Chains A and B, each alone.
Chain A
Amino acid sequence: MKIKKGYRLRSLGKEYILVAEGLEASDASQMVSLNETAAFLWKAVEDKEFDAAMLTQILLDEYDVARETAEKDVAMLLQTWKEAHLIEE
């Protein structure tokens, strides 16, 4: 899968938001807030093909977390991104 074009990640204080600033974005008023971990993963795979296993590995490399927890977190995050139409297969 791949992140759709047209989004930009912006920091706001200690938080992160995705804004649909690009011409490619279908809904220019769309905005999604991300926590620090989600923002970190977004930056890591912004312009590449990726899958759940790859995101899990990135999490394991960066954070001291059990594989099972990382897999669960990644599954939840991907679900959220899919529901927000942020990724394409």
Chain B
Amino acid sequence: MKKTYCVAGHKFSVVMPDNDVAWNEMYSYEPFDCEDPSGCLFTAELLDVMPDTSGKQMVKVSCEGPDMPRIELYECNDEWLMEIAPVMEAPVRVFLLTDKAFTKARFRVLGSMHFSLGTVLMLMYAFATARKNTLLMHASVTMKDGKGYVFLGKSGTGKSTHSQLWINNIEGCSLLNDDNPVMRVMDDGEVRVFGSPWSGKTPCYHNVDVPVGAIVNLHQAKKNAIRRLSLVEAYAAMYVSFSGYRFIKEMADGLHATNEKVVSSVPCFALDCLPNAEAAWLCHKTVAQ
């Protein structure tokens, strides 16, 4: 069985056996169901046997933190092979093979189906859209008065907490996505943020999009303070908040172009904050103008 989904205007298809229990793990994708499979950026097919990976050549290993997935990238018969472990110190649980244009992926799962599907589809989505004015972000996004406020910060900084502080202390706020929203520069130059099937530990899978009101980079501090970021500071804050294989020149060029457009048109701020209501009020008062 093949199903197609549309996230931030980009379509992809998932192919798995009809009655496979893996379909039960696709609940977060249901709001993104798409009837028309034409124009898919990529297809990801679940394999029931191990693919032949003999002759693989190591390219690089990446892991963004002890609790983040470890991804070993290999070149394998003119394709990319990614061997993925759920955390830094764990055995490989997912094998992902894709052509170098990121249009056709096959994956073999040994561990948790939920983790594997999420990781495979997020990676493929990020790579396939990197040259299409699109960024798959690591951020929490709260909506207020028809605009999205994008909160950035390292893991554990309190992005989700800050979103909750807005929702609990400011009238008319709601959560768009708590972990992996999609930002996109539209053809007319407008920067919009979209919900996605990926939202970390918070079940929040809204197929909704709004213009970006502001981007706020969070830091934990002993007192609340906010300031506007320069262009270079904003670029740097964004740079570490989306991923991609930047050694692949076309991908790096695409991500750079999108990032430059975003930080040139959206106001960006740095917020030193405590996890309290005052932080949310200060932030809202400053950025929502």
Which A positions have Cβ atoms within 8 angstroms of B? 8, 10, 12-13, 15, 17, 19, 21-23, 28-29, 31, 33
Contact = CB atoms under 8 A, between A and B. Distances in A.
A65 to B, nearest CB: 25
A8 B252 CA distance: 10
Interface string B240-263: 100000110000100010001001
Nearest to B239: A31
Nearest to A8: B252
Interface stretch (B110-118, B200-208, B229-237, B272-280): B229-237
Interface of B: 59-60, 62, 231-232, 235-236, 239-240, 246-247, 252, 256, 260, 263-264
Nearest to B62: A28
A13 B231 contact: yes
Contact of A33 (B232, B252, B263): B232
B265 to A, nearest CB: 11
B60 A19 contact: no
A49 B169 CA distance: 59
Contact of A21 (B60, B231, B246, B264): B246
Given A8-B252, A10-B256, A12-B260, A17 B247 contact: no
A31 B236 contact: yes
Contacts of B231: 12-13, 15
Nearest to B257: A10
A23 B245 CA distance: 9
Nearest to B248: A21
A15 B60 CA distance: 31
Given A19-B246, A21-B247, A12 B59 contact: no
Nearest to A14: B231
A13 B239 CA distance: 16
Nearest to A16: B232
Contacts of A28: 62, 246
Contacts of A8: 252
